[in-house]
Structure 1
Amino acid sequence: MQVRKNVLTLSIVAVLGMAGTVHAQDQKPADQRAKDLDAVVVTGIRGAQEKSLDVKREANSHVEVVTAEDVGKLPAHNVADTLQRLPGVNISSSSADEGGFDEADRVSLRGTSPSLTQTLINGHTVGSADWFVLSQGGTVGRSVSYTLLPSELVRSVEVHKSSEAKLQDGGTTGTVNIITRKPLEFAKELTLEGSAGLVRSDNAGANDPQLAALFNYRNTDSTFGVMVQAFRQKRSLSRQAQEIPGGFFQISPTSVAALAHPDLANVWAPGLLGSTLFEQTRDRTGGLIELQFKPADNLTLGLNGFSSKLKADNYNRNFMLWGGNFAASQSPNPGYVVKDGVLVSATYAGDPNKDYAVYDMISREAVAKSSYVTFDADWQINEDFNARFQAGATSGTGSTERQFIAEVTLAHGGGASWNTHGIDAPVDWSVGGNITPSGVTGFGTWGNQQVTGKDKEHWVNLDFSRYFNGGALSSLDFGARYADHTREALSPEGASPGNIWPALQNGATAAYPSDFASGIGGNFPRDLWYFTTDAMKQAILANSTWLSNNDGPTGRHNFGGEWKVGEKNFAAYVQANFEGDRWSGNVGLRYVNIDQDVNTYQSVSNAANADVQSLFGMWKRMYTNNKVSRVLPSANLKFKLTDDLLFRFAASQTQTLPDYSALGASSWGSDLNKTGGGGNPHLKPVLSTNFDASLEWYFMPRGLVSVAAYSMNLKDFVAFGTETQMLFSELTHQLEAYNVAVPVNANGKVTGLELSYEQPIGDNFGINANYTYADGSAAHTWADGSHHLLGTSKNTYNVGAYFENDTFGARVSYTYRSAFLIGLSGANPYYQDDFGTVSASLSYKATDWLSFSLDALNLNNPTYKYYQNAAIPTAFYSNGRQYYLNAHLKF
Structure 2
Amino acid sequence: MGLIFIFGTVAGDGSYEWDFINRESSTETSSYDLDMNYTGGNYTLHAQIGMTEASGGTYNETSWSFVPNVSGAESGYSFDLSNREAISGVDPTDGSKWKQNWTWGGNKPTTDEESYGQLDLNLDVDYGPFSSVDVGIKYRDHDRSQGRQAYSWHAPGTSNVADGYMWWAFDECPTLDTCGQTTGTESVADNVVNGNLTEQRAGDREAFMQLGFGGDADYAISDSLGEIWDINESILSLYAQGNFSGDSFRGNVGVRVVQTSQTASSYNFSLDSWGLNTVGSKSGNVDVDWLTPAYLEWVTEKRDYTEVLPSFNIAFDATENQIVRFGAARVMSRPNYSDLAPIESVGALNVEFPTGTSGNPDLKPQIADQFDVTWEWYFDDSSVVSVAYFYKDIQSYRTTGSYIAPYFNEQDDEWVDVTINRPDNGLGGSTDGLEIGYQQAFGNFGLASNYTYTNADSNQARVEGVAGSGLVEGASDHMFNATAYYENETFGARLMYNYRTEWYKGVSWTGAELWNKSYGQLDFSSSYTISENFNVVFEAVNLTDEEVIEYDGKESRLMSVYQNGRRFVLGLNVSF
Verify the 8 A CA contact 1:509 1:529 in the aligned structure 2: no
Q: Classify 1:731/1:366 alpha carbon distance in 2 versus 1 (closer, same or farther; 3 Å).
A: farther
1:641-666 deviations in Å (ceiling 9; x for gaps): 22221111111112222221212151
1:431 Cα deviation after fit: 2.1
SS at match of 1:501: helix
The code of the aligned residue for 1:670 comes to G
The equivalent residue for 2:385 is: 705
Matched, 1:566 2:232: yes
Work out the CA distance in 1 between the residues paired with 2:297 and 2:28. Answer: 32
* Greater helix share, structure number: 1
| Counterpart for residue 542 of structure 2 | 858
- 1:177-326 correspondence to structure 2 within 5 Å: 266-269=2-5
Following TM superposition, by how much is the alpha carbon of 1:637 offset from its aligned partner in structure 2, in angstroms?
A: 1.1
Q: Partner of 2:116 in structure 1?
A: 459
The 1:887–1:457 alpha-carbon spacing in structure 2 relative to 1, beyond 3 Å, is: closer
Amino acid at match of 2:518: D
3-state DSSP of counterpart to 1:662: helix
Residue number in structure 2 paired with 1:654: 331
For 1:652, the aligned partner's letter is A
Which residue of structure 2 aligns with residue 718 of structure 1? Answer: 398
Counterparts of 2:141 and 2:291 in 1: how far apart (Å)?
Answer: 32
Return the offset for 1:889: 11
Q: For residues 181-236 of structure 1, give each alpha carbon's deviation from its aligned partner in whole angstroms, at most 9, with x where no partner exists.
A: xxxxxxxxxxxxxxxxxxxxxxxxxxxxxxxxxxxxxxxxxxxxxxxxxxxxxxxx
RMSD: 3.6
Distance 1:533 1:622 in 2: 39
Residue in structure 2 matched with residue 520 of structure 1 by the alignment: 192
8 Å CA contact 1:356, 1:411 repeated in 2: no
Structure 2 CA distance, aligned partners of 1:451 and 1:600?
Answer: 15
Task: Write the distance in 1 (CA, Å) between the matches of 2:37 and 2:518.
Answer: 47
Letter in 2 for 1:356: S
The amino acid of 2:170's aligned partner reads W
1:367-382 correspondence runs (5 A): 367-380=26-39, 382=40
Partner Cα separation in structure 1 for residue 252 and residue 97 of structure 2:
72
Identity rate, percent? 25
The normalised TM-score by structure 2 is 0.82
Q: Report Cα offsets for 1:47-68 as digits up to 9, x if no partner.
A: xxxxxxxxxxxxxxxxxxxxxx
Q: Work out whether residues 493 and 526 of structure 2, in 8 Å CA contact, stay in contact via their aligned partners in 1.
A: yes
Distance across 1 between alignment mates of 2:302 and 2:336: 16
1:722–1:827 contact (8 Å) kept in structure 2: no
Q: Distance in 2 between matches of 1:683 and 1:692?
A: 28
Counterpart position of 2:433: 752
Amino acid at match of 2:64: A
Superposition map of 1:393-792 within 5 A: 393-413=51-71, 414-420=74-80, 422=82, 425-432=83-90, 436-446=94-104, 448-469=105-126, 471-491=128-148, 494=151, 496-497=153-154, 498=165, 499-505=168-174, 506-510=178-182, 514-520=186-192, 522-541=194-213, 542-545=215-218, 556-605=222-271, 618=293, 619-671=296-348, 674-729=354-409, 731-732=411-412, 735-746=415-426, 747-761=428-442, 763-780=443-460, 781=462, 783-784=466-467, 787-792=470-475
Q: Which runs of 5+ in 2 are unaligned?
A: 155-164, 280-288
Going from structure 1 to structure 2, the CA distance change for 1:634 and 1:734 (only over 3 Å counts) comes to farther
Instruction: State the 1:707 CA deviation.
Output: 1.0
Deviation at 1:702, TM superposition (A): 1.0
Deviation at 1:705? 0.4
State the alpha-carbon separation in 2 of the partners of residues 377 and 849 from structure 1. Answer: 22
Q: How does 1:38-49 map to 2 (within 5 A)?
A: none
In 2: Cα distance, 1:890 partner to 1:799 partner: 31
Deviation of 1:726 after TM superposition, in Å, equals 2.0
CA contact (8 A) 1:403 1:450 kept: yes
- Aligned mates of 1:809, 1:356 — CA distance in 2: 55
Using a 3 Å threshold, how does the CA distance of structure 1 residues 822 and 731 change in structure 2: closer, same or farther?
Answer: farther
Secondary structure at the aligned position of 1:468 is classed as: strand
Measured against aligned partners, the alpha-carbon deviations of 1:385-436 in whole angstroms (never above 9, x if no partner) come to: 23222222222222211111212222543343435363xx313322248984
The match for 1:9 is none
Tell me how far 1:828 sits from its aligned partner: 0.5
* 1:349 equivalent in structure 2: 11
Q: Distance in 1 between matches of 2:493 and 2:32?
A: 38
Preserved CA contact (<8 Å) 1:511 1:528: no
Deviations 1:90-113 (A, max 9, x none): xxxxxxxxxxxxxxxxxxxxxxxx
The TM-score normalised by the length of structure 1 is: 0.55
User: What is the CA-CA distance between 1:709 and the residue it aligns to?
Assistant: 1.4
Amino acid at match of 1:587: V
Report if the CA contact (8 A) 2:91-2:196 is conserved: no
Gaps of 5+ in 1: 1-249, 251-265, 270-343, 548-554
SS of residue matched to 1:593: strand
Shift of 1:678: 0.7
1:799 aligns with 2:475: no
Q: 2:556 aligns with which of 868, 871, 891?
A: 871
Distance 1:796 1:604 in 2: 47
Give 1:857 deviation, angstroms: 4.5
Do 1:508 and 1:531's aligned partners in 2 also have CA atoms closer than 8 Å? no
Q: Which moved more, 1:731-740 or 1:561-570?
A: 731-740
Q: Report Cα offsets for 1:611-663 as digits up to 9, x if no partner.
A: 99975552444432212022111111111222221111111112222221212
Secondary structure of the structure 1 residue equivalent to 2:407: strand
Distance in 2 separating the partners of 1:569 and 1:701: 42
Whole-angstrom CA distance in 2 between matches of 1:492 and 1:686: 33
Contact kept in structure 2, 1:616 and 1:730, CA below 8 Å: no
- CA-CA distance at 1:792 after TM superposition: 0.8
Shift of 1:755: 0.6
Distance 1:504 1:714, change over 3 A: farther
2-structure distance, mates of 1:399, 1:463: 36
The residue matched to 2:209 in structure 1 has which SS?
A: helix
Which residue is 2:159 aligned to?
none
Letter aligned with residue 501 of structure 1: F
Measured at CA, do residues 713 and 417 of structure 1 come closer, stay the same or move farther in structure 2, by a change above 3 Å?
farther
3-state DSSP of counterpart to 2:419: strand
SS of 1:649's equivalent? strand
Q: Hey, what's the Cα distance between the residues in 1 that align with 2:339 and 2:530? A: 53
Question: Pick from 508, 511, 515: which aligns with 1:827?
Answer: 511
Contact 2:271-2:406 at 8 Å conserved across structures:
no
> Secondary structure at the residue paired with 1:661?
helix
Please tell me whether the aligned partners of residues 222 and 277 of structure 2 are also in contact (alpha carbons under 8 angstroms).
no
The structure 2 residue matched to 1:814, chosen from 482, 490, 497, is 497
CA apart distance, 1:883: 6.1
Structure 2 letter corresponding to 1:828: A
Contact residue 92 and residue 200 of structure 2 kept, 8 A:
no
Aligned length: 537
Question: 2:188, 2:197 within 8 Å by CA — same for their partners in 1?
Answer: no
1:114-166 residue CA offsets vs partner (Å, 9 max, x unmatched): xxxxxxxxxxxxxxxxxxxxxxxxxxxxxxxxxxxxxxxxxxxxxxxxxxxxx
